[in-house]
Amino acid sequence: MDAGQSQVENLEYDFSTLDSFITPNDLFYVRNHYPYPAASQEADLGSWQLQIKGKVERPYSLNLDELRDLPATTLTATLECAGNHRSFLNPPVGGLQWGQGAVSNAEWTGVPLRTLLERAGIKPSAVEIIVEGADKGEVKTTPKPAGEIHFARSLPLDHPVIADTLLVYEMNGEPLSVAHGAPLRLVVPGWYAMASVKWVQRLVVTATPFNGYYQSVDYARWVRVDGMPTRVPITDMQPKAAIARPTVDEVLPLNQPFCMRGAAWSGGATVVKVEISADGGEHWAEAQLEGEPLPYAWRLWSYEAPAFTQPGRYHLMARATDSRGKRQPMQRDADQENYMISHVIPIPVTVQ
């Protein structure tokens, strides 16, 4: 990766190769909105500062050494792009045409957001914190603000996720790379990854809810209040079981049992069940969950599928149920537009 390039880099993880709980750093998917920011280049890091300001008693700045001197926490969290699986939608919708690989799982090390906020002293009037990245550019779709804007997202200060949110500088035990947000990236565990702002440069505490471009126009959806649509930011990941193997359009031998493998996750909850169907959702069988449940990490699963005894075209399905009892729906909610593709997605295979 050439961090000095002016193109916008987006790289998908080849989900069909899934074979480990942790995604290696060089395979972890990359989603960027703008070219890599100059401030993330190594040469500039001596003067790099994180600003904490707004509705706080004691605004301050921190350099990288000061950040690394603070007590660190390590957390395993799955990041999924809110547009993961978009290319499976029919009719097609706008946005990057991700297959199944805009999702990966890593161990993140950094400073709890709460540590930095407590040091600043949140004023009683404060309601949200805006996290601003160093990446910037002009947005393409209306309604759009004039000129260049920075990527930014906010979190409500009274949301439970605040307690587990980190500002990370290590990924899987290695220094965070520029592609993944170095020198400092937010990780909001359990939320779609647009919330995990890369190249963090400012934390701004506000007394009013923030309706930035990336949570009101983009990365937002409609929910209904007594039938009336109201626009809300996209936040927590919905339960999803994804099938890594067999792959789309794979040819399976007739009369031969086969192994299905994949991963399943849900925002802020653990996956308690993955079910498999090979007949369009009429019958479901339970898959085997591997490892132990962790609140913010995916869970690998496998299923020894019985042989198909007739040649033809089949659709394999997997669906997850999480510890709150939430199960993947079979149908898509159109109010989610081109995000949160969390309904059950059939993977077509041929048996011959």
Q: How many helices (H) and strands (E) does the chain have?
A: 3, 21
Residue closer to its own copies (CB basis): 52 or 243:
52
Q: C-beta of 122: minimal distance to its own copies in Å?
A: 16
DSSP 190-221: TB-GGGS-SSEEEEEEESS----HHHHTSSEE
Task: Provide the token pair at 108.
Answer: 């993140």
Please report, for residues 50, 53, 119, 176, the alpha-carbon distance to residue 61 in angstroms, rounded to integers and kept in the order given. Answer: 5, 9, 11, 21
- When asked if residue 341 is in the footprint of its own copies (CB under 8 A), the reply is no
- The tokens of 300 are what? 């690998």
Number of chain positions touching its own copies (CB under 8 A):
36
Smallest separation, CB 138 to its own copies (Å): 12
Residue whose pair of structure tokens reads 């999803």 in the numeric block: 240
Give the interface segment with its own copies, choosing from 70-78, 111-119, 146-154, 342-350 (CB under 8 A).
146-154
Contacting its own copies within 48-87 (CB under 8 A): 53-54
Taking the least distance from each CB to its own copies, the nearer of 43 and 228 is 228
What minimum distance in Å lies between the beta carbon of 173 and its own copies? 34
Alpha-carbon distances, residue 138 vs 1, 11, 145, 147 (angstroms): 23, 21, 8, 6
Do residues 266 and 237 lie in contact, with contact meaning Cβ atoms separated by under 8 Å?
yes
Query: Pick from 33, 150, 185, 245: which binds its own copies (CB under 8 A)?
Result: 150
Q: Determine if 210 is a binding residue for its own copies (CB under 8 A).
A: yes
Give the nearer residue to its own copies in terms of CB position, either 150 or 273. Answer: 150
User: Quick check: helix, strand or coil at residue 86?
Assistant: helix
Among 48, 169, 192, 213, contact with its own copies (rule: CB under 8 A) = 213
Nearest distance from C-beta of residue 139 to its own copies, angstroms: 10
Distance of alpha carbon 220 from alpha carbon 127, whole angstroms: 19
Binding segment for its own copies among 118-126, 155-163, 205-213, 296-304 (CB under 8 A)? 205-213
What does each C-alpha distance from 169 to 63, 107, 115, 163 come to in angstroms? 12, 11, 15, 18
Stretch that binds its own copies, among 25-33, 145-153, 291-299, 344-352 (CB under 8 A): 145-153
Asked whether position 135 contacts its own copies by CB under 8 A, the answer is: no
The 255-274 contact track toward its own copies, x by CB under 8 A, reads: --------------------
Pick the binder of its own copies from 212, 239, 268, 346 (CB under 8 A).
212
CB of residue 97 vs its own copies: minimum separation in angstroms? 17
Backbone angles phi, psi at 17, to 5 degrees: -95, 5
Nearer to its own copies, 71 or 143 (CB): 143
Rounded least distance, CB 232 to its own copies, Å: 7
Q: How many CB atoms lie within 10 A of CB 71?
A: 7
Taking the C-alpha atoms of residue 140 and residue 247, their distance in angstroms, rounded to an integer, is 34
Cβ-based neighbour number of residue 311 at 10 Å: 13
Which residues of this protein are in contact with its own copies, per CB under 8 A? 53-54, 130, 132, 141-143, 145-147, 149-150, 152, 202, 204, 206, 208-213, 216-217, 220, 222, 225-226, 228-232, 334-335, 337
